Chain A
Amino acid sequence: MLEKRIIVCLDVREGRTTKGIRFRENVDVGDPVEMAALYYEGGVDELVFYDITASHEKRGIMIDVVRRVAGRIFIPFCVGGGIGSVEDMREALLAGAEKVSVNSQAVRNPAIIEEGASRFGRQCVVLGMDAKEDPAMPCGYRVFLNGGRVATGLDALEWARKAVALGAGEIVVNSMDADGTREGYEIRLTRMISEAVGVPVVASGGAGRPEHLVTVLTEGRADAALIASMVHYGEYTVRGIKDHLRAAGIPVRTA
């Protein structure tokens, strides 16, 4: 039976990771390739590299990171952040990424999902979505852009359905209400999206303890759970979290 995935997210700015400073001894913790290798050896199922480089001129650095990561780890990984065109997608995929993720760019230009899916296959195209509770919206959640700074008129459920119809092969549902709280994922939102679409849903935002992953992977119907700070500062390990999930009866990969 298909296993639930644990995905670790690494933020990268100008080729350096921005979190996990106290990660481990003897390792250049600012190097995304070294961090990726550590998580790979630690049994993570997938990685996401989120490029937060502000300057457009320095975006090329990320492609070099992707290329080096691909030569070092042999699990799927996704690149997001700087993907604004089909050409950006092609570059990241050719450099060795398994998937690319689009968020604000897809809201502004939904055709990028369709073009990406038809050129590279829908399994490569991930929709990232930042949603916030809003009773004014039909489903109760509104889509935001630019990491939550700009509100849109989009209903989260409607946008998820539309993105899948356009060709998105996976949706990362990031709850802005839960993000940063470390008090658990937004279960209602995750479940609503997961039950409405025929593609895998990755829960994001709010993970603080292994129980949170248990809840979102069962009640929340998520196919995968994204984590970052839980493991970046050494508080938990991927293996430890997986032991917890296994004990709760959730199928996860042994590695």
Chain B
Amino acid sequence: MKGRIAVVDYGAGNLRSVENALRFLKADFFVTARPRDLQDADGLVFPGVGEARAAMETLHDTGLDEGILGFIATGRQTLGICIGCQIALQRSEERDVACLGIVEGSARLFPGTSGLKVPHMGWNQVHFRPEDPLFQGIPQDASFYFVHSYYPAPAREEDAVAWTDYGIRFVSAIRKGHFAAVQFHPEKSGPYGLRLLANFLEQVR
């Protein structure tokens, strides 16, 4: 059967809410921390909250970094969430760490200027490329839930698929072929967040 999702557990925070959302959507999924288990999956979800350097260290120690890159290289669908979006880039400014480099660019710290509170926490609008499959059936500029201090800054405009304003206009979703990642938390973003996850599941099938 096609449509099996692997949820990568690399110790980066709590996976419960992602699992709950996938269960609610009746997805066929399993959670794993072992790179070899990824072979059995048709799609990969790569969630996480926390800190980029710690996340990268765990990925490296477990071999999941190579596992994830190998998985993406086979052309299977992958969705990164939050820290999973930031470490898809080449570097993160968070304790200056080399990341997976799936997409050119880096994760940058929000400037704590103009009275804006950091972390950026709460609901904010997402302006997306209407043709992107993840956003099908979602109204343009719908709100999603964010919790983060660093934001993805891809080097090339074409790798960005959504943008959000928080003092600066930052990229809130990226895509490179079958790899997509969102800075917000679809699993906590109400019906539109569930729709985005359902769109991903649809792509995997």
Binding site for B on A (CB under 8 A): 1-3, 5, 40, 45, 70-71, 74-76, 93-96, 98, 120-123, 169-170, 198-200, 223-224, 253-255
- Residues of A with C-beta under 8 A to B189: 74-75
Asked whether, in the complex, the Cβ of B122 is within 8 Å of the Cβ of A5, the reply is yes
B205 to chain A, nearest CB (A): 21
Asked if A198 contacts B112 (CB within 8 A), the reply is yes
**A199 with B117: CB separation less than 8 A:** yes
Q: A71-B23, A74-B190, A76-B145 are in contact. Are A198 and B122 (CB under 8 A)?
A: no
Whether the Cβ atoms of A123 and B122 lie closer than 8 Å is no
In the complex, the chain B residue whose C-beta lies closest to that of A197 is B117
- Known contacts A74-B188, A121-B49; is A2 also within 8 Å of B20 by CB? no
A198 CB to nearest chain B CB (Å): 6
| Selected A-B contacts with CB under 8 Å, 5 pairs | A74-B17, A75-B189, A121-B49, A122-B119, A198-B117
Q: Are A96 and B16 in contact (CB under 8 A)?
A: yes
Q: Chain B: residues with CB nearer than 8 A to chain A?
A: 13-14, 16-17, 20-21, 23-24, 49-50, 112, 117-125, 139, 142-143, 145, 147, 165-166, 187-194
Nearest CB on B from A153, distance (A): 29
B143 adjacent to A253 (CB under 8 Å)? yes
Q: Are A224 and B17 closer than 8 Å at their CB atoms?
A: no
Q: Which B residues lie within 8 Å of A170 (CB)?
A: 121
With A74-B188, A198-B118 known, 6 other A-B pairs at CB within 8 A are A3-B122, A71-B23, A74-B21, A123-B119, A200-B122, A255-B190
Could you tell me if A95 and B117 are in contact, using CB atoms closer than 8 angstroms? no
Q: Smallest CB–CB gap between A225 and chain B, Å?
A: 12
Tell me which residues across on chain B come within 8 A of A2, comparing CB atoms: 120, 122-124, 166
Contact B145 A75 (CB under 8 A): yes
Instruction: Kindly list chain A residues whose C-beta atoms are within 8 Å of the C-beta of B124.
Output: 1-3
Q: Is the interface of B mostly helix, strand, loop or mixed?
A: mixed
Q: Which secondary structure characterizes the binding site on chain A?
A: loop
Chain A nearest Cβ from B78, distance in angstroms: 21
Instruction: Please pick, from A74, A94, A169, A223, the residue contacting B193 in the complex, using a CB distance under 8 A.
Output: A74
Q: Is B112 touching A123 in the complex (CB atoms < 8 A)?
A: no
Chain A residues with Cβ below 8 Å from B13 are 120-121
Q: Decide: A71 near B24, CB < 8 A? Known: A1-B166, A95-B16, A199-B117.
A: yes
Indicate if the CB atoms of A255 and B122 lie closer than 8 Å: no
B66 to chain A, nearest CB (A): 27
Cα–Cα, bound, A45→B124 (Å): 11
In the bound assembly, the distance between CA atoms of A74 and B19 in angstroms comes to: 11
**CA A198 – CA B116 in complex, angstroms?**
8
A120 to B49, CA, bound (A): 9
User: For B187, what are the chain A residues with a Cβ–Cβ distance below 8 Å?
Assistant: 74
A40 to B145 Cα, complex, angstroms? 14
Query: Distance in Å from the Cβ of B53 to the closest Cβ of chain A?
Result: 14
Given contacts A1-B165, A3-B124, A121-B50, contact A70 B16 (CB under 8 A): yes
A75: B residues at CB distance < 8 A: 145, 188-190
The smallest C-beta distance from B30 to any residue of chain A, in angstroms, reads 18
Q: Which residues of B contact A45 (CB under 8 A)?
A: 122-123
Query: Within the complex, what minimum Cβ distance (angstroms) separates B139 from chain A?
Result: 8
Chain A residues with CB under 8 A of B120: 2
Smallest CB separation, A144 vs chain B (Å): 26
Across the interface, which residues of B come within 8 angstroms of A3, CB to CB? 122-125, 143
CB of B188 within 8 A of CB of A98, answer yes
Q: How far is the CA of A148 from the CA of B178 in the complex (A)?
A: 55
A74 to B184, CA, bound (A): 13
Q: In the complex, which residues of chain A have a beta carbon less than 8 angstroms from the beta carbon of B121? A: 123, 169-170, 200
Q: Considering the chains assembled together, what is the distance between the CA atoms of A200 and B123 in angstroms?
A: 13
Q: Which of A76, A120, A169 is most buried by chain B, counting CB atoms within 10 A of its CB?
A: A76
Smallest beta-carbon distance A240→chain B, Å: 18
In the complex, chain B residues whose CB is within 8 Å of the CB of A5: 122-123
